[in-house]
Amino acid sequence: MNSQIFTYLKRKRLTDTRTVNRLFVSSFVLLSDLIIKNNYVIKSLLIDKEDEDFDLLQEFVSKIHHFHPAPMTIEDMISLFEFVISPADRIVTGAVYTPKYVRENIIETCLKIPNEHLQHIRVADIACGCGGFLMNVALFLHNNTGRSFYDIYQESVYGIDIQEYSVERTKILLSLLALLHGEDLDFDFNILQANTLNFNTTEWNQDYTHFDVIVGNPPYVCSRNVDATTKEKMLQYEVCLSGHSDLYIPFFQIATEMLNDGGRLGFITMNSFIRSVNGRAVRNYFSRGIHDISILDFRGYQVFQKKSTYTCLFFLTKNQASDTLHYAVNLNGDLSATPEYNNILYNQLDNKKGWRLNDFEAVRQIESIGIPIGEYCHFRHGIATLSNKTYIFKPVAEDDNYYYLESKDKRFPIEKAICRNVVNSNKLNSEVSFESIIEKLIFPYFINEDRATIIEESVMKTTFPYTYAYLSSQRKQLAERDKGKTDKYPTWYAYGRTQSLIMPRYKLFFPKFANKPLHCVLRGDADLLLYNGIAFVSDDLEKLQVLKSILDSNVFWSYLVKNAKPYSTGYYSLSGVDIKNFCIPSVK
C-alpha cells in the first residue's frame, strides 16, 4: 500500500506535512469508527464535512480501500508515516521503518523485569522517528501493569528527534493508541525536538537523561552523507575518533551515558562496527569490559525491506562488568527462539583488525597458525581507466595488423601493437572458461625499466593513427571522468589512475564476490592485465600454486562464509580486509 499512497500524494502534489497528517489521521479515525471528544492533538487534524479538504479525504479513503482492502491498523499508520518521509530527508536523517516483530523483541528483552519495577520505569528512544518503538513500549507497559496511557506518557515514555514532523507524528501515534484503548484525553508527552548529538553540551535538557531503558533504531546515514556541522558534533564523542564515522556510531556512547547504572540498551543497528575501520573506537570503548554486551548478528539477512542494510541487535546492561562478549548469528530473521550466545573473551579480540566473532575458536586457530595471506603474497586490484567502455573491447573482427571495435554502429580499426589482453576476474564466479573472458585493452603507455609512461600525443598521431582517431571520437566522454577534473592527467587519453599498469609475470585471478567455492585461475603471461577483480601476483610460480590450492579449498570457503562481509544475494566479499588474516601454513 505504501508505494501506491506515496505515488498518489506526489500526483496530487500533497507535500505539506500538515495536509498529509490530516489525511492520514482523518482516514484512520473514519475507518476505525473512532469518536473523538477530548484529544486536542487528533481533533485539530480531523477533516469534517464542512472542510475544504473533505472531497480530497473521501477520494483518499477510497484509494486506501482500493490499495488495502483489509482494515487499517495503527501499524499501517507507522509504516505510512515513515514511508512518506522525503528521499532527501531520508538521506540526511537516516529514518527507516523498523518491523513490528523487531521492535517487540527488543522491548521484551529490555523490559524483562518484575512487573512492580515497571511501575516507575523511564524508557526512551533517543532517535524516535515517528514513534514506533515508543508506541510498543507504551503498549507493553499498559498490558503488563494495567497503568493508564495517560500515566505512562506522563511518567515513563520519552522520545527525542531532530525533526519537528517526527515529534508531531509521534504524538499522533501515541494519541491514536490510547484512543483505540478507550482513553480520550489530552496527554502530557515527553517528546523533545532536539539534536541528540548535543547531549554532551551544557544546554542539554536534563529531563532527558538518567533513563532505565533505551530502545530504538539509530539513524542510518553513511559518513559521505553527513554534513560538516554534524561531523564536528560527532567528534566530541570517543567512539567517533577512528575513520569517517557513520551517524549511527555516536549513538552507542550517547545511549550508554544516558542510562542509569544497571540500565538496559536495545538497538537494531548496523553491524559494520564489528569489523570496519570506523568502528575501531567503538570496539575500544566496549572492550574494556565495563558493561555486559550481547550482539545478535543478522549477517547477510535483510531485516529492512527494499533497503540494503546489514544489521544486528545490540543489547547492553550498563556497569554490569563482563570480560566476555556474547555473540550469536541469526541468518533468517526469526526471533521466536532464544539465541544461543557464544561467550568470547575481550582479551582474545583484536580491536584494530576487527572482531571476528562467527565460529570464533575455529577462526582463531586458522588466523594464528602460519603466515597471514596478506603477508604471504601481494594482491592487486585491476587497472582504473575510469572509462572501461572506451578502452576495453571484444573485437568484432581482426586481421594481421588491426583489431576492429564497434562503437555507436561505427567500426574502428585499432592497431594491435597498442593493445594488451585484459580480464575481468569477477566473471570467474560463473561457469565460463578463462579464454572466453579475455578482452582487448587499448594501452596508451610504453614500459621502460619497470615504469609505465604515457605515449606522447605526437607519437600517438603518427604511430597509432587509427587508435588516436578512435580515442578522439571519445574525447568528450573521456573529459567527463573524475567529475571533469582531468586537467592533471598527463594527457587527455591517459587512464584515470596509474594503478596496476605493470604486474609480475604470474597472476592468480579470483573474483571480488563469490557465492560458491572458488576456482582460481593461474596464468604466467607478463603482459596480461586485470580490471574489476583481484589477483595475487608474484614472480614465484610455486608460491602461487600453493596459494591456489588453498583458495580453492573448502576450508577457505568455510572461513569466508563465516567471516567475510555477506550480501543478501548469497554472495560474500573477497576484499583484502575480508581475507588478509587467513593464514597459510608453513610449507617446508
Of 202-211, 464-473, 483-492, 564-573, the one with minimum mean pLDDT is: 564-573
pTM for the complete prediction?
Answer: 0.85
Task: Categorise residue 526: left if φ over 0, alpha if ψ from -120 to 50, beta otherwise.
Answer: alpha
Average pLDDT, the chain: 92
Confidence of residue 149 (pLDDT cuts 50, 70, 90): very high
Q: What is the mean pLDDT of residues 8-30?
A: 86
Considering the domain 220-358, what is its CATH architecture?
A: 3-Layer(aba) Sandwich (3.40)
The yes-or-no verdict on residue 91 having pLDDT over 70 is no
DSSP-derived letter for residue 572 is: E
Distance CA 397, CA 392 (A): 15
The yes-or-no verdict on residue 93 having pLDDT over 70 is no
Nearest to 181 by CA among 122, 141, 131: 141
Cell numbers at 25, concatenated: 489521521
Of 20-24, 215-219, 287-291, 465-469, the one with minimum mean pLDDT is: 20-24
Q: What is the pLDDT of residues 474-489, one digit of tens each?
A: 999 999 999 999 999 9
Q: What is the mean pLDDT of residues 447-474?
A: 95
Confidence of residue 502 (pLDDT cuts 50, 70, 90): very high
Map out the domains of the chain as residue ranges: 1-89, 220-358, 380-573
Task: Categorise residue 186: left if φ over 0, alpha if ψ from -120 to 50, beta otherwise.
Answer: beta
Q: What is the pLDDT of residues 413-451, one digit of tens each?
A: 999 999 999 999 999 877 889 999 999 999 999 998 889
* Torsional sign, CA 455, 456, 457, 462: negative
Distance CA 191, CA 557 (A): 49
Pairing verdict, β 410-415 and 311-317: unpaired
Confidence of residue 5 (pLDDT cuts 50, 70, 90): confident
Distance CA 130, CA 246 (A): 21
DSSP-derived letter for residue 355 is: -
